[in-house]
Chains A and B, each alone.
Chain A
Amino acid sequence: MTAAFRWIIARHLARERLRTLLTLAGVALGVGVFVSVRLASTSALASFTDTVDAVAGRANLELSGGSEGIDERAFPLARGTAGVIAAAPIVQIDALARPGGPASRRASDDPDAMRARVSYPDQVLVLGVDVFSEAAFERFRLWGDADSATAGAGPAALEFLNDPRAAAITRALATRHGLAPGDSLTVLSSGLPVVLIVRRVIESQALQQAYGGNVVIVDLAAAQQHFNRLGRLDRIDLVVDPARRDAVAAELTRRLPAGVTVETPRGRSRQVENMVRAFQLNLTALSFIALFVASFLILNTVSMSVTRRRREIGIVRALGMTRADVAALFVSEGVFFGVIGGAIGLVLGTLLARTTLGAVSQTLNDLYLVYHAQTLRPDVASYVIAYVLGVLVSLAAALVPALEAAATPPASTVRQGAFTPPSHRGFGRWTLLGAMLLGAAALVAVWTVSTHRPWGGFVSAALVLAAGSALAPGFTLAIESAVAPLARRLGGIEAALATGFLRASVARTSVVVAALMVSVGMWVALSIMVGSFRRTVDTWIQQSVRGDLYVEPAGHRLNLSSTVLSASLVDSLRRTPAIAAVDTYRGSRITYGGRPAFVAGIDFEVQRRFGRLSFTRGDPRELLARARSRDEVIASESFAHHHRVAPGDSIALAGADGRVRRLRVAGVFYDYSSDAGIVMMDRGLYARMWSDRTESLALYLAPGADADAVRARLVLLAGPDLLLSITPNRALRTRVLEVFDQTFRITYALQAIAILVAVLGVFGTLTALVLQRRREIGILRATGALRSQVMKMVLVESGLLGLIGALLGAIAGVLLALVLVHVINTQYFGWTIRMAIDPWVFVSAVFAMAAAAMLAGIGPARLAAGRLAAEAVRAE
């Protein structure tokens, strides 16, 4: 078989160099996009997992209490539990950082909160550790220690931390900023810059990777002081007898307050993985589209190869090649594309992955507050999966034409003058199959929604694409019949010939139509979905973001828990005449039903009077008043979806004191801030359950009040040390939409690549068709067709191909959009998106595709009109 492959397939591929290269490029792009997205999302998560592992050290169990933390009185309880070998209390803060002293405050009171990033370029993980508890965990290997490990040196190794300003930083951070012992480093997490003095450099290898290498260690008490964590711990790390871990965990759960979660460090990573799974899955599904489109390219290339070599197949069949060998030969052609194109794709994907990682981890950071990973970690599994997938897809794509080749009877091609007339047989069957697949897609969609099986949405979408592919031949013929008279009238004889050629080769061209359908369909569907989603979100912000100014300490977003705006500041603002109302916000990350979620306290009374939260049902004002007076909560749509909660149901939440309260859900409100889900309650209830701190404010100005004057007063009230970011309503809305657009930017990039692959298909197919029609074109030229007429003919044909593909794609796109909006989105994220179709989407898709296809036709048209025609005439 190897010699047969080399002789029969490889030489043909070498002869048809351009087509081979185009197909390889298509496969390489398909595999490349897939691998880059996978590498990016695994890198983003691996970075999180590595951080958890590195920071955990030898800890095999950890206690945490959401973002409100754990009361430090729980520490002796935990340490005293039977089976616990060692325990270490930890305060953990995500903060902004800059080498040297604090930045001048001008930069950070800029209306745009993101400007703080300019003066504080790094994001660091600050760990407050207890000098006396660390030895057993062996996580901080310090430079210059006699035996280089905290374990060996005992508590003495970390003694330098007794100075509340002292810090140890990782070698990676020190190198990046040229920091040496004695230099200062300023960290900012809740508006108040904290200046630390670097005393030691941490050499532990694992920590150089954790959090991008940006880890800072300070003393526990100092951390509590600097970061508003007095009396609170973020975690208690435990080393327990591994054999009795489960029993110890059970005992700890029993002894400690209800709000404290006992889990393994791995468990924490898994929670985050679960939270971002839907996002990753959707991204992966999208990244597969380019490869799917490339499969049509392979199908077409192998198909063309079979058609052009029908006679040769007949000869080798007559000479004794079995059907199975013929099939294997052409399958091997497809596999060749998978093997070589896939390998190029892996390299390409690795190059693309860095850019992709930036986009993916920015989105994970924006939506899920997962640390913004910057280091790409190529993993073998991603490469293997992408490569195997590329080869399998190529093999599958080659199967149909390979079987067609195997069915070639030796007689039909060796018989003198035998030719295969264009056959439209079987198109009816394809159309019927298409209709059945559409029906199946609808059934699966209904089933998915009624049984809450989110993955059914992908099956339904795949069925829509399969249906569109099956309908492609019939659709191509139908549209060709419909537009042919018009084309003839407008385009003359050339257009008439073009439509005739299109009709004659519909078995081939419909594969291109299918490829175009997939890429245009996805494009249209995503445009509709994203457009509808954006409009929904925009309406939502306009309704729910009613405050005039939003105030938070700089760095707040990184670290929901540690920020506090003083009560005196809030009171002063309340007394300011220009301010009609002040809504206070505080929030906490919790784990509910095994999933991360948020709980927030706001002022329901202010919300009732000034806000416009929109609920799935019920009057917002009545609902909020009732919830406030009866200690009820309101849940976001995502929360209600994930936890199957409806108005009137109760949810159980454990407060900071460990007491579990059953709270009735008064209503479900629309919220698109995060698909993790959020539960909101009145600030009074929140204060009773957790704490009475304020993280951020929404200010409603009195009519006619001057926003700038209020800003100035606010800065004055805050005092010289507190860095606030004050965002006007409009800037906040813009920022939300920016995050939204950023989230979908990668989606569009993936789609653009899929379209590029489809256009490569048009180019390749037309070139092959032109070569195949060498004889007809030669006769045309011989009988007086001008070069320009031949070119026009090919261009009309390519434009028509683009048009037909785009039309079918537009129809498939609407159906896909329905699945995306009403099945996939609701099932995975629990968001209601009001579907709105912008007709411009269709107009632009259809025109752009027809134009792109026509552009792709220029090369083949020149080929047809030039050298080739001359050769053909001579041959005749």
Chain B
Amino acid sequence: MSGRPDAGAPPAHVAIRLTDVVKEYGAGPVGDRDRRKPADSAETPFVRALAGVSFDIEAGERVAIVGPSGSGKSTLLHVIAGIDVPTSGEAWVAGRALARLGDDALTRHRRDAVGMVFQSFHLLPTLAARENVALPALLAGSGERAALARADELLGEVGLGERRRAMPHTLSGGEMQRVALARALIREPRLLLADEPTGNLDSRASGRVLEMIVELSRVHGTTVVMVTHSREAAAMAERVIEIRDGAVTGDRRAPYPTPAP
């Protein structure tokens, strides 16, 4: 951790700036000296998931990241979320250079600045819907009652007010993803990251989830970065970044060219 924490920071209107970000599995991450090595780093054979990715995302922008399976989309999202640490290069997210953050600061970044929606929902099976939603607030130190009240509100907003006490295994895929969305929003993050949010949903449910995400970014000015395979999902974005073999191969403003039927 050298120099001032904000040295080299991008201007305030840039929510995300990636500069030459490389992520290799099987090699130590940047900042290894002050962070514990992930347990899997020595287990996994050497793979270059990101091969020097650079771009800026403006605050309030709605961006879709597309590309074939194994192209590095999810890794890219995990780097932005602070779940994965780049091997080299620099990632500025919400005003912070992630490589310079220690584990606790990185955890706080995930908790306070980022809301994350996963393809397979990742709800805790032992917690009811409202408790799953309230969990990040609780982790950030909110009182239980306040956190649950806010969770109930959010579940109402995503149309699950009636199902707030349901356990995850009783929810449909679309409902689970809406719970996950509500969970991502409870800390009112500046940045919403969604990894294939409609990947496990039927078309009706995915339409509903996508509408909500667009609505959110319009009303609150939340920056949205969404990894997706789906044309429908990409169509909701203002900008589409295409990734192939860990490198950016396309970056264009919407509308995304829909091939002729």
Contact = CB atoms under 8 A, between A and B. Distances in A.
B209 to A, nearest CB: 18
Contacts of A423: 43
Nearest to B183: A319
A409 B40 contact: yes
A11 B131 CA distance: 12
Contacts of B126: 7-8, 11-12, 15
Interface in A1-60: 3-4, 7-8, 11-12, 15
Quick one: which of A3, A7, A15, A411 has the most chain B CB within 10 A? A411
Interface in A398-451: 407-412, 414-416, 418, 420-421, 423, 425
B193 to A, nearest CB: 10
Contacts of B118: 414
A322 B36 CA distance: 13
Interface string B97-129: 000000110011011100010111010111100
Interface in B118-154: 118-120, 122, 124-127, 131, 135-136, 138-140, 144, 147
A421 B110 contact: no
A322 B107 CA distance: 6
A323 interface: yes
Contacts of B7: none
A420 B40 contact: yes
Contact of A319 (B84, B139, B147): B139
A410 B83 contact: yes
B81 interface: yes
Contact of A316 (B43, B104, B120, B124): B124
A178 interface: no
Contacts of B124: 7-8, 312, 315-316
A611 B110 CA distance: 86
A319 B110 contact: yes
A428 to B, nearest CB: 14
Quick one: which of A311, A322, A410, A418 has the most chain B CB within 10 A? A410
Nearest to B128: A7
A11 B111 contact: no
A4 B124 CA distance: 12
A321 B112 CA distance: 11
* Interface of A: prevailing SS: helix
Quick one: which of B38, B40, B125, B140 has the most chain A CB within 10 A? B40
A418 B41 CA distance: 13
Nearest to B23: A411
Interface string B21-42: 0000000000000001011101
Nearest to A325: B139
Contacts of B104: 322-324
A317 interface: yes
Contacts of B40: 409, 411-412, 418, 420
Contact of B78 (A317, A325, A411, A425): A411
A322 B81 contact: no
Interface string A747-781: 00000000000000000000000000000000000
Nearest to A412: B40
B74 interface: yes
Contact of B43 (A12, A15, A421): A421
Contact of B83 (A12, A318, A324): A318
Given A322-B104, A411-B84, A412-B38, A315 B139 contact: no
Nearest to B107: A322
Nearest to B147: A3
Interface residues of B, number: 37
A240 to B, nearest CB: 66
Contacts of A3: 138, 144, 147
B39 A407 contact: yes
A82 B86 CA distance: 90
Contacts of B144: 3
A407 B138 CA distance: 21
Contact of A320 (B38, B43, B111): B111
Nearest to A406: B36
Contacts of B43: 420-421, 423
A317 B39 contact: no
B174 to A, nearest CB: 19
Nearest to B120: A416
Nearest to B145: A3
B36 A407 contact: yes
A323 B107 contact: yes
Given A3-B144, A4-B139, A324-B104, A412 B122 contact: no
Nearest to A311: B122
A416 B116 CA distance: 15
A10 to B, nearest CB: 9
Nearest to B112: A320
A320 B83 contact: no
Contacts of A415: 74, 78
B119 A318 contact: no
Interface string A500-511: 000000000000
Contacts of A410: 83, 110
A318 B115 CA distance: 10
Contacts of A311: 122
B107 A7 contact: no
Interface in A284-322: 311-312, 315-322
A417 to B, nearest CB: 10
Interface string A314-354: 01111111111100000000000000000000000000000
Nearest to B79: A411
Nearest to B110: A320
Contacts of A409: 38-40
Contacts of B122: 311, 315, 318, 414
A320 B140 contact: yes
B39 A412 contact: yes
Contact of A408 (B39, B78, B112, B136): B39
Interface string A213-255: 0000000000000000000000000000000000000000000
A319 B43 CA distance: 25
Contacts of A322: 103-104, 107-108
Contact of B38 (A7, A8, A12, A411): A411
15 contacts: A3-B144, A7-B131, A8-B126, A317-B107, A318-B110, A318-B122, A320-B108, A320-B187, A322-B108, A410-B83, A411-B78, A412-B40, A415-B78, A420-B39, A421-B43
Interface of B: 36, 38-40, 42-43, 74, 78, 81, 83-84, 103-104, 107-108, 110-112, 116, 118-120, 122, 124-127, 131, 135-136, 138-140, 144, 147, 183, 187
Interface of A: 3-4, 7-8, 11-12, 15, 311-312, 315-325, 407-412, 414-416, 418, 420-421, 423, 425
Given A11-B126, A321-B111, A412-B40, 7 more contacts: A7-B127, A311-B122, A312-B125, A317-B107, A319-B116, A322-B108, A412-B38
What 7 A-B pairs have minimum CB-CB distances, sorted nearest first?
Answer: A320-B111, A409-B38, A11-B126, A3-B144, A411-B84, A315-B122, A410-B83
